[in-house]
Structure 1
Amino acid sequence: MNSSSPPLQNEGVAAAFACFPALARAGLLEIRQLIYEVAETEGVGPIEETLKWGQPAYLTSQRKSGTSLRLGVPKSGGYALYVHCQTTLISDARTAFGDAFTYEGNRAVLFNAQTSISDTPLALLIASALTYHRRNKKGPR
């Protein structure tokens, strides 16, 4: 990853990151950086960073471009990238990437402290989310 992500400016998001366990926080910050890098590469416009359901959430500010991504810590431990469960993103990832990820239903990919984000096709999954509505005429935001 070459560029750096912007500093945390939303106090709620900063507080959420501060509450994550250290190992999970490091992985989630790495995913956050990747989200910003992919957004720039894909030309989806500015990314809005906010809280959804108490978790850091990322979405394009251009309507009808992409669907939101959330970062969090699942009850099973580790950390996760969550997508809107009514999209086809996770089923598409299963088809395209097989066992490159550990999945939680149709809503998340899971990681543990040993996961090297750079060794996964995560950038492709993030790009699919950030361009979801461009590629699919209908779908939840």
Structure 2
Amino acid sequence: MNEAIKEHFDTYPEHVKSRLLALRELIFAVAAELALGEVEESLKWGEPSYSVKTGTPLRIDWKAKLPERYCLYFHCQTKLADTFRELYGDAIELQSNRAIVLPLSKPLPDAMIRHCITLALTYQQRKHLPLLGA
């Protein structure tokens, strides 16, 4: 993790930071499991951003205006939100067509989020498939 990213994570409250770091690790784990190559980590719009050549970028963040939630953001002009709604219905909370909203009061729904990350990190290969080939 580069110094700018580390400093950014250090600005979060400790209970939020641990959740965001777990989400970050999940992104890296999925990319490694799928042999997608190096994950580029940077700050975009003041949020940690993660991208690989085969996918669409993901960002993670917590905002003080939604103190009980943190988010996994994705490009709003993809088919990801519609696919997530179709696959997971009420089991997933989406913010419009740009983010998965995760409550800090509940454990990370690992299998579901892992699948969503997989679809995002392989989006360029799947974007022409119905339901992204899910």
SS at match of 2:78: coil
The equivalent residue for 2:6 is: 14
Structure 2 match to 1:117: 108
Alignment of 1:16-95 (within 5 A): 16-60=8-52, 62=53, 65-74=54-63, 75-77=65-67, 78-95=69-86
Which of 62, 83, 98 aligns to 1:107? It is 98
Unmatched runs of 5 consecutive residues or more in structure 2: 129-134
2:58 aligned partner, one-letter code: L
Q: TM-score, normalised by structure 2?
A: 0.87
Secondary structure of 1:32's aligned partner: helix
How many residue pairs get aligned? The number is 126
Q: 1:69 to 1:87 in 2, by over 3 A?
A: same
Q: TM-score, normalised on structure 1?
A: 0.83
Unaligned runs of 5+ in 1: 1-7
Q: Which amino acid aligns with 2:47?
A: Q
In percent, how many aligned pairs have the same letter?
37
Residues 66 and 130 of structure 1 are in contact (CA less than 8 Å); yes or no, is this contact kept in structure 2? Answer: yes
8 A Cα contact 1:103 1:110, kept in partner? yes
Runs of 4+ displaced beyond 6 Å? none
Q: What displacement does 1:120 show?
A: 5.0
